[in-house]
């Protein structure tokens, strides 16, 4: 890699010069993962998507120009021979392949995309063409996993980078089909604000990062979650209660959520069945309560390797038993998709319908579902997932990372240096033109129009949790809570003990797969 060698030599000379003149150097940001919830609180995307302000750090200034825009100033010189490539082709998931979690941010392909996002994509792509003579192209397929495997086995040369779902990227990484992004650290700055340091901490193993999330994509934001609430039902049943202030005071807890939901849940039709036609406290899947309490199924050890976390501490045991105990009270305060009697519809759309038609006080939502609420005449706000108790250090909100895009460079690409360079360029352009637009225009001004909800969005996006268990599904523990809830069981320890050897063996195999590359 000629470019990397030249840059590395220049960097060495600069470092030597710095030592000779006695200059200090700026410490690197630590993005390693730890098991401590206090330490984990520093892993959130602290810059979120908020506009730059005078209060942000000099670390932020390293990445911006005089106008406050994110800049390419730290990139090495562009290799002019790359202009001959003409295109930067990114493999993405098509709308046909995934009706909800498809890519909209590489090319403006779909009329269902918000117009401001289409404009942002066009603006970013026009900038890339004007500066680099490169046309950005989306290669949309139904199955990214199969497409990448076919690309590698057939040497097809149909794309230069890929954005499969993270759970797919994890499989490809274990198979040795992706480049380690750390090999391109002279080009890709994973500490930069257009990369999600929280995601990188979760997906990295040891010293290797084969994929991560960043502002070239929106999906890691779209599949992040909070709790929407119906303002009319809140006023009718809890007049005078200020849920926003409860959050600000740090007192928004699962006990409070449960008691409110218990009070409101009941039948609306005299048919003896509690289903989608009746009134619910919250529409949820159950495991989101667990993540709101600040626990995870898998975390990392001091070597940045995955380790089981479920049941490993007294707090984990207490939280898990408490959450499963509440969820065992079926049809008394919350509903899951298993409670719907009409199985001819998409059960997730039924959740949105129940909330949108005023039959649920709360709904645990991905932000993808918020877009679907636009068709309903409902006034709603948003708050973070509830804490375990008031002593909890902060709020935590789950990212369904199995559907987040894992930005990566497959080993089949013709020029990995070019691919790495364009990933950095696309992410910078995405931060300026797409991610900020989604956060500040689509979410804050279109989907949520009150200042309180805007404040809540900042809290939510500064507290996103990526659980390695959801990404590295080979471990096999990712569905343990959902399965127990479905079985109406609180005995997680028996399930954990029965499968512990299998979980730990899978973790060892994943670590070995990484170490051997």
Per residue in 254-264, pLDDT tens? 999 999 999 99
According to the model, what pLDDT value does residue 345 have?
Answer: 78
Q: Report residue 219 as tokens.
A: 């999906």
* 307 beta partners: 299
> Can you name the residues that pair with 410 across neighbouring β-strands?
178
pLDDT (0 to 100) of residue 453? 93
Q: Please report the pLDDT score of residue 59 as a whole number.
A: 59
Give the closest residue to 45 by CA, choosing from 475, 458, 483: 458
State residue 60's pLDDT score.
Answer: 67
Structure confidence at residue 61 (pLDDT): 87
Residue 21: pLDDT band (50, 70, 90) is very low
Residue pair 257/322 in contact by the 8 Å Cβ criterion:
no
Residue 210: is its pLDDT beyond 50?
yes
Q: HSE, CB side, 13 Å, CA atoms: give it for residue 265.
A: 22
234-249 tens-digit pLDDT: 999 999 999 999 999 9
Beta strand spans in 69-144 (E): 87-93, 135-141
| pLDDT above 70 (res 56) | no
**Does position 64 have pLDDT exceeding 90, yes or no?**
yes
Cβ count near 217 (within 10 Å):
26
CB 156 within 8 A of CB 105: no
Residue 34 has pLDDT above 70, yes or no: no
Residue that wins the pLDDT comparison between 56 and 85: 85
pLDDT band at 276 (very low <50, low <70, confident <90, very high): confident
pLDDT at position 398 is: 97
**Quick check: 172 and 153 in contact, CB under 8 A?**
no
Percent of the chain with pLDDT over 90: 81
**CA 213 – CA 198 distance, rounded (Å):** 9
How many beta carbons lie within 10 A of that of residue 314, not counting itself? 8
Residues 293, 295, 300: CA angle, nearest 5 degrees: 155
CB neighbours (10 Å) of residue 364? 24
Q: Is the pLDDT of residue 253 over 80?
A: yes
Mean pLDDT of 48-67: 62
Q: Mean per-residue pLDDT for 280-303? A: 95
Q: How confident is the model at residue 12 (pLDDT cuts 50, 70, 90)?
A: very low
- Give the model's pLDDT for residue 58: 56
* Secondary structure percentages of the chain, helix, strand, coil, to 5: 45, 15, 40
Give residue 512's Cα distance to chain centre: 26
What pLDDT sits at residue 449? Answer: 80
**pLDDT of 14 over the 90 cut:** no
Of the listed ranges 165-179, 192-206, 336-350, the one predicted with least confidence: 336-350
User: Fold for domain 54-222+403-447?
Assistant: D-Maltodextrin-Binding Protein; domain 2 (3.40.190)
pLDDT of residue 50: 40
pLDDT computed for residue 43 by the predictor: 33
Q: What is the pLDDT of residues 419-445, one digit of tens each?
A: 999 999 999 999 999 999 999 999 999
Instruction: Give CA–CA dist 308/298, Å, rounded.
Output: 5
pLDDT class of 267 with cuts at 50, 70, 90? confident
Any idea which of 28-42, 253-267, 358-372 has the lowest mean pLDDT? 28-42
Place 79 in a pLDDT band, splitting at 50, 70 and 90.
very high
Question: So what's the pLDDT on residue 348?
Answer: 84
pLDDT band at 357; cut points 50, 70, 90: very high
Q: What is the pLDDT of residues 114-132, one digit of tens each?
A: 999 999 999 999 999 999 9
Residues 9-32: what's their mean pLDDT? Answer: 39
Average pLDDT of 363-385?
94
Residue 184 has pLDDT above 60, yes or no: yes
Q: What angle do CA 382, 387, 391 make, to 5 degrees?
A: 135
Taking 80 as the threshold, does the pLDDT of residue 25 lie above it? no
Q: Please answer whether residues 268 and 278 qualify as being in contact, where contact means their C-beta atoms are separated by less than 8 angstroms.
A: yes
Q: Write out the residue limits of the CATH 3.40.190.10 domain(s) in the chain.
A: 54-222+403-447, 225-398+450-515
- DSSP string covering 499-512, please? HHHHHHHHHHHHHH
Can you give the pTM of this predicted structure?
A: 0.86
What band does 343 get if pLDDT is binned at 50, 70 and 90? confident
Entry field: residues in the chain: 517
Name the least confident of 61-65, 172-176, 314-318, 346-350: 346-350
| 358 vs 337 pLDDT, higher one | 358
Q: What is the mean pLDDT of residues 485-509?
A: 96
Q: Which of 508, 478, 288 is nearest to 383 (CA)?
A: 288
**Which is more confident, 362 or 331?**
362
pLDDT given at position 15? 41
Q: CA torsion 361→366→371→375, rounded to 10°?
A: -30
* Of the options 3.40.50.300, 3.40.50.720, 3.40.190.10, 3.40.50.620, the CATH number for the domain spanning 225-398+450-515: 3.40.190.10
Residue whose C-alpha is closest to residue 163's, from 375, 423, 374: 423
Both tokens of 120, joined, read 């942002």
Strand residue runs (E) in 118-250:
135-141, 161-162, 225-230
Please check the confidence at residue 216 and state whether its pLDDT lies above 50: yes
Give the pairing of strands 161-162 and 225-230: unpaired
pLDDT per residue as tens digits for the range 294-311: 999 999 999 999 999 999
Long-range contacts of 244-252 (CB under 8 A, 24+ apart): 244/381, 244/383, 244/452, 244/455, 244/456, 247/383, 247/384, 247/395, 247/456, 247/459, 248/455, 250/387, 250/390, 251/390, 252/383, 252/384, 252/386, 252/387, 252/395
């Amino acid at each position: 890699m000629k470019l990397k060698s030249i840059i590395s030599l220049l960097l060495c000379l600069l470092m030597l010069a710095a030592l000779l003149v006695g200059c200090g150097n700026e410490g690197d940001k630590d993005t390693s993962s730890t098991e401590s919830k206090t330490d984990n609180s520093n892993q959130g995307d602290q810059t979120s998507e908020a506009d730059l302000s005078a209060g942000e750090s000099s670390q932020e200034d390293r990445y911006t120009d005089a106008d406050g825009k994110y800049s390419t100033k730290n990139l090495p010189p562009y290799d002019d021979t790359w202009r001959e490539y003409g295109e930067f082709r990114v493999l993405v998931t098509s709308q046909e392949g995934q009706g909800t979690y498809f890519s909209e941010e590489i090319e403006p392909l779909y009329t269902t995309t918000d117009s401001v996002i289409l404009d942002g994509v066009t603006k970013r792509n026009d900038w890339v063409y004007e500066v680099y003579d490169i046309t950005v192209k989306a290669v949309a397929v139904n199955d990214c996993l199969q497409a990448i495997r076919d690309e590698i086995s057939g040497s097809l040369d149909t794309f230069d980078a890929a954005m499969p779902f993270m759970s797919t990227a994890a499989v490809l990484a274990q198979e040795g089909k992706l480049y380690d992004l750390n090999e391109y650290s002279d080009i890709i700055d994973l500490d930069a604000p257009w990369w999600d340091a929280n995601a990188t901490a979760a997906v990295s193993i040891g010293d290797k990062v084969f994929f991560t999330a960043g502002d070239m994509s929106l999906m890691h934001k779209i599949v992040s979650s909070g709790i929407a609430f119906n303002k009319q039902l809140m006023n009718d049943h809890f007049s005078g209660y200020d849920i926003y202030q409860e959050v600000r005071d740090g007192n928004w807890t699962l006990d409070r959520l449960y008691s409110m939901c218990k009070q409101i849940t009941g039948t609306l039709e005299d048919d003896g069945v509690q289903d989608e036609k009746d009134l619910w406290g919250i529409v949820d899947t159950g495991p989101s309560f667990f993540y709101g309490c600040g626990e995870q199924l898998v975390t990392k050890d001091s070597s940045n390797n995955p380790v089981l976390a479920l049941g490993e501490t007294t707090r984990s045991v207490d939280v898990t038993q408490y959450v499963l105990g509440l969820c065992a009270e079926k049809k008394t305060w919350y509903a899951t998709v298993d409670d719907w009697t009409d199985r001819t519809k998409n059960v997730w759309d039924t959740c949105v319908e129940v909330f949108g038609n005023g039959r649920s006080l709360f709904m645990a939502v991905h932000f993808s579902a918020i877009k679907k609420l636009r068709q309903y005449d409902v006034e709603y706000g948003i708050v973070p997932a509830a804490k375990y108790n008031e002593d909890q250090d902060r709020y935590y909100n789950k990212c369904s990372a199995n559907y987040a895009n894992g930005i990566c460079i497959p080993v089949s690409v013709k020029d990995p240096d070019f691919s790495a360079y364009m990933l950095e360029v696309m992410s910078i352009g995405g931060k300026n033109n797409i991610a900020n637009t989604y956060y500040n225009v689509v979410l804050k001004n279109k989907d949520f129009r009150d200042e309180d909800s805007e404040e809540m969005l900042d809290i939510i996006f500064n507290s996103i949790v990526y659980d390695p268990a959801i990404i590295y599904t080979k471990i096999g523990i990712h569905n343990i809570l959902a399965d127990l809830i479905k079985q109406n069981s609180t005995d997680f320890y028996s399930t954990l003990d029965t499968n512990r050897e299998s979980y730990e063996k899978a973790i060892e195999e994943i670590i070995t797969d990484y170490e051997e590359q």
